[in-house]
Amino acid sequence: MCGIAGVMTRNGSAPDSAMLNRMQSAIAHRGPDGFGRLVRDDVALIQVRLAIVDLTTGDQPLFGISDDRQTGTALVGNGEIYNNPELRAAMPQAAFRTRSDCEPPVFLYDTLGAGFADRLRGMFALAVHDPIARRLVLVRDPFGIKPLYYAENAAAFAFASEPQSLLAAGFGSRNPSHARVAELLQLKFTTGAETIFPGIYRALPGETLVVEQGRIVARHRNHALPEGAPRPIRHGDAVRQLDAVLSDSVSAHLQSDVPFGLFLSGGVDSAALLALMTRLTGNRIQALTVGWAGAEGVDETAEARRLARAMGAECERLEMGEADFWNLAPQIAACIDDPTSDAAVLPSWMLGRAARAGGLKVTLCGEGGDELFGGYARYRKQRAPLSWFARKPRSSGVFGHAIPGLTGWRDGLAAAEASAGDVRSAVQAAQFVDCQEWLPNDLLIKLDRTLMVHGVEGRTPFLDPLVAEFAFTLPDSEKVGLRRGKVLLREWLEGAFPQAGAWARKKGFKPPVGGWIARRGKALADQIAHQPGVAQVVPSEVVQAVIANAAEASQPAWSLLHYALWHSVHVLGISAEGPIGEVLEAAVRV
């Protein structure tokens, strides 16, 4: 796990070294264990390393069949290639020089060309420079687990693991796109390739970009989800196949040369991972869970610790209180440069910090379980007879019609819905949209940034091509019932881990931000209303009404506060080191 960046100039000149230094500095937190840089002709490749696999010989860039630093194919990468052992076994003649899981991909490129990523199983963002063909090839994993951004201007093409690296190099604009701000406020995330920073784009999940002379000349996309409608399967066969598929994926995700742990929420997904990790390793699993000080909010830490005891695991309980919120929220907003106003960024940041302090460089996480196995209520509403009356998911935004001028905020979702295809069921179509937009642009951004800012790698065994191939094509009835989602996963868990309470109602993972915000009342509302970014798009009276109602409706209040903090740090350049009040006061004075 690492951070990467790079440049290809248009006129053939060498990239500016001062610009490369700024790019590297902006992502240094992603790689506390070292860095590598290669500059040749018109291309520069940068990597900052978090050493997980092959701690001694896995420094990057890595080279292909030829290891000549001037003429050999070179690769820098961020992520993990879980089929590394199988790839090595399939290339017995290859003269591998390291044990790095990112070395087989560069040999594959030398053999297969730009389509090499189709052979990879893992989470990755890779950049390959082919000096003979004079081209740069960028690839991102099909689920978009690992981030990859790019920008172009009249002088060069540039890429990086985070937008702030590109902004530091002078690419793109810090003036937020109004269309993306509308999406962020109404959806909690932004969709598609265009980021909130004009001129900076996401490589889409599964996308390959080919760049020559500083321009994109070709692109293609490898989708995570299989084509076609649900396929019939006997229920007993489905349970047995699920056990095999999940065991295979978790086993692959446990490959590591450093200690690993688990984020345990008390829900179905993390309980399933706990059971499988224990079965596959035979070890006492190290788990972390987070709850809230006082009696506010939904706190599942007691359940998480009960499950840990039942499985013989160790589980440390973290606590986030009101003081933590006021003091840490600016720093958390600072690490989410591609913004999402999902309040789960708060506890996720706490978990990442605790994991690093406890010596865990790798944690397994449950992201993707809901999207692939049908965990959300919006999926149940897409099954007949509910589908006859249901609106499309996310038909109403967080603010409804309260903020004039927030138009077009659903256009990106509508485009994703249109691309879902007619042969899929309504449940599958809703899953498809979530996997194309919500998952990579909200949940996975949250996971990547809140962990990588602490130098911790989050792995997601549910987001695996073998799991997706099996789960997405299950009959709708194996995913969603009329009262519960994740039907098949729950039934499997009931047998594999009887103490887990597989049929308990989903509670969620939300800190009590509404109550915390409400207690600051009008003083906080005034600060938010006068923050320059908020003042441009939200009338003061709307801000006042939202904050006054924060205890009853927490998401609108947090969305406004988060955007105010994000804008203060990433647009105005205010330091994130102070508490919320100081940061907002500094922004108002700008």
Tens of pLDDT, residue by residue over 414-423, are 999 999 887 7
What pLDDT, on the 0 to 100 scale, is given for residue 479?
96
Q: Residue 384: pLDDT above 80?
A: no
CA 534/CA 550 separation, integer angstroms: 17
CA 238/CA 111 separation, integer angstroms: 38
Banded pLDDT at 213 (limits 50, 70, 90): very high
Mean pLDDT to the nearest integer, 272-290? 97
Contact in structure between 20 and 28 (CB atoms under 8 Å): no
What pLDDT, on the 0 to 100 scale, is given for residue 508?
66
What pLDDT, on the 0 to 100 scale, is given for residue 34?
87
Mean pLDDT to the nearest integer, 495-503? 95
pLDDT digits (tens, 9 = 90+) for 215-236: 999 999 999 999 888 999 999 9
What pLDDT, on the 0 to 100 scale, is given for residue 505?
80
Contact in structure between 362 and 256 (CB atoms under 8 Å): yes
CA 81/CA 464 separation, integer angstroms: 11
Percent of the chain with pLDDT strictly greater than 90? 88
Q: HSE of 511 in the Cβ direction (CA atoms, 13 Å)?
A: 29
Domain ranges of the chain: 2-221, 235-500, 513-588
CA angle 196, 190, 418 (to 5 degrees): 130
Helix (H, G, I), strand (E, B) or coil at 564: helix
Between 10 and 300, the more confident residue is 10
Question: 2-221, superfamily in CATH?
Answer: Aminohydrolase, N-terminal nucleophile (Ntn) domain (3.60.20.10)
DSSP codes, 449-493: HHHHTTT-EEE-TTS-HHHHHHHTTS-GGGT--SS-S-HHHHHHH
CA 542/CA 53 separation, integer angstroms: 51
Q: Residue 507: pLDDT above 90?
A: no
What pLDDT, on the 0 to 100 scale, is given for residue 387?
72
527 CA to centre of own chain:
30
Residue 534 CB neighbours (<10 A):
25
CA angle 35, 41, 44 (to 5 degrees): 25
pLDDT digits (tens, 9 = 90+) for 36-56: 999 999 999 999 998 888 777
Q: Residue 428: pLDDT above 90?
A: yes
Report helix, strand and coil shares of the chain as percent, to nearest 5: 40, 15, 40
Mean pLDDT to the nearest integer, 562-572? 98
Residue 339 CB neighbours (<10 A):
27
What Å distances lie between residue 546 and 210, 327, 342, CA to CA? 46, 22, 17
Q: Which residues contact 141 (CB under 8 A, 6 or more apart)?
A: 79, 120, 122, 123, 124, 125, 205, 206
Beta-ladder partners of 151: 158, 200
Banded pLDDT at 389 (limits 50, 70, 90): confident
Mean pLDDT to the nearest integer, 518-522? 92
What pLDDT, on the 0 to 100 scale, is given for residue 297?
66
Mean pLDDT rounded to a whole number for the chain: 95
Q: Residue 472: pLDDT above 70?
A: yes
What pLDDT, on the 0 to 100 scale, is given for residue 314?
97
Contact in structure between 64 and 73 (CB atoms under 8 Å): yes
Detail the DSSP E strand segments found in 281-377. 286-292, 314-320, 362-364
| Nearest alpha carbon to residue 78 among 64, 99, 62 | 62
Banded pLDDT at 295 (limits 50, 70, 90): low
Mean pLDDT to the nearest integer, 543-557? 97
pTM of the predicted model, to two decimals? 0.96
What pLDDT, on the 0 to 100 scale, is given for residue 42?
97
Banded pLDDT at 263 (limits 50, 70, 90): very high
CA 440/CA 145 separation, integer angstroms: 6
The architecture (CATH level 2) of 235-500 comes to 3-Layer(aba) Sandwich (3.40)
Percent of the chain with pLDDT strictly greater than 70? 98
Contact in structure between 370 and 435 (CB atoms under 8 Å): no
Q: Residue 509: pLDDT above 80?
A: no
Most confidently modeled range among 208-217, 221-230, 395-404: 208-217
DSSP 119: G
Banded pLDDT at 276 (limits 50, 70, 90): very high
